[in-house]
Amino acid sequence: MQVKREHQLGKDEVRQRVDSLSASLAAKLNVRTDWRGDEMHFNGSGVNGCIAVSEDCIDVDVKLGFALKLMEPTIRSWIDDALDEHLE
């Protein structure tokens, strides 16, 4: 599943906001996170992916295992809501 959002915050600011978002991500999906350049990678049981940040865009790529695939609409909605909240 991919979610892409444009922003006007600049890379440094959006990176700080993604750091804040990662705490919510870790709690909701029980994942570990780490930064590799401009990408925050996350992985856990049945889910992995990354959030890539640039000057004007955030690209979220999530791969769900079979059990979580059934919850894809709920997880997509949560990601959309979290991005809305953290990018305001």
- Domains of the chain: total: 1
pLDDT of 21 = 81
Look at 29 and 18; give whichever has higher pLDDT. Answer: 18
Residue 52 lies in a domain: yes
Residue 25 lies in a domain: yes
Give dist(CA 17, CA 70) in Å, integer.
28
Residue 22 lies in a domain: yes
Give dist(CA 6, CA 11) in Å, integer.
11
Check which CATH number belongs to the domain holding 17 and give it.
Answer: 3.30.310
pLDDT tens by residue, 12-25: 999 999 988 888 77
* Nearest CA-CA partner of 60 in 77, 68, 69, 13: 77
Residue found under tokens 């940040």: 53
Residue 3 pLDDT greater than 90, yes or no: yes
Residue 27 lies in a domain: yes
Give me the chain's average pLDDT, please: 90
Distances (CA, A) of 34 to 23, 43, 48, 73, 77: 11, 9, 12, 25, 23
Domain interval for residue 62? 2-80
Residue 73 lies in a domain: yes
Residue found under tokens 């906001």: 17
Residue 42 lies in a domain: yes
Residue 86 lies in a domain: no
